[in-house]
Amino acid sequence: MNNLIYISDSFLEEATQINPLSEIRVRYKKYSDSHGYWIVENLFSNISSFVKLMELFPISSPVFGYNINPFFVQKVPTYFFDKIKHFIGLFCFDVLQTDVIFTDSFDRGNIYQHGKVKCTMSSILPHVDYSQSSKNFLVSNIWLSEGYNGGTSFWKYKDQYVYFDQYSQIYENLPLDKVEYYNFETNDVFTEVERAPAEYGTMSMYMSNQFHSAYVNTDPNHLRWSYAIMSHQKPE
């Protein structure tokens, strides 16, 4: 019992507080006529307290549905993110003109340390998240590593920026063996068109049907730490 960690109400309120809407900045970075991503700045009232809160929760090797990815996994109580999700909901209503619901079971911390977790080729190749309904998903990544040189790469497959049905055929023939993660590079069919930086304390948002991949730092002393929140269009 003595090993349990107690989090006071005052610290939890301090750590999860976000700034007033008038102080939060949202920038849109466009990389094609109809595709891009958003960067949310000055979101947290006290980002250092939020990181201290997150550091109280353990990480584990990926299991079950996470084991294709090159990340350690972190799960924390979803109510820690209620204020952030309220902001995301307002953003979706104002900018995307849709109401959203949140898929809490998919929310998780993703921690990459070079050489520690192997993955399948499906994580290395530019991919989409939840392709069966991906056009309805918004991915929001909160970046928690200070001074990290990395982020999210966005890709074009031939002349396509988003998922299309035939793309699934590429994945059918991919090997299932676990390999060490590496940064995918432009080739004769894939072109990297943009890279969203992993800026400490910011949140990047993009539609999950856009081709993307993790861009990582290969220095094992540097952690790529983010927390992903998934939201999708509310059924009518």
Tell me, yes or no, whether 126 lies in a domain.
yes
Task: Check whether 62 has a pLDDT greater than 70.
Answer: yes
pLDDT for 181 equals 94
d(CA 202, CA 25): 10
Tell me, yes or no, whether 1 lies in a domain.
no
CB contact at 8 A, 140 and 203: yes
Tell me, yes or no, whether 2 lies in a domain.
no
Confidence tier at 132 by pLDDT (50, 70, 90): low
Give 183-226 pLDDT, tens digit per residue: 999 999 999 999 999 999 999 999 988 999 999 999 999 999 99
Q: By residue range, what is the domain housing residue 109?
A: 9-233
**Among residues of the chain, what percentage have pLDDT more than 70?**
94
Kindly report the three-state secondary structure assignment for every residue of 58-89: CCECCCHHHCCCCCEEECCCHHHHHHHHHHHH
Query: What count of Cα atoms within 13 Å lies in the side-chain half-sphere of residue 3?
Result: 0
pLDDT for 9 equals 96
Cβ neighbours of residue 122 closer than 8 Å, sequence gap 6 or more: 68, 171, 174
Q: Is the whole-model pTM more than 0.75?
A: yes
Counting the structural domains of the chain, the total is 1
Mean pLDDT of 92-113: 89
Mean pLDDT of 20-47: 97
The total of other beta-carbon atoms located within 10 Å of residue 178's CB is 14
CATH number, domain with residue 40: 2.60.120
Confidence tier at 64 by pLDDT (50, 70, 90): low
Helix and strand counts by DSSP (H, E) for the chain: 5, 13
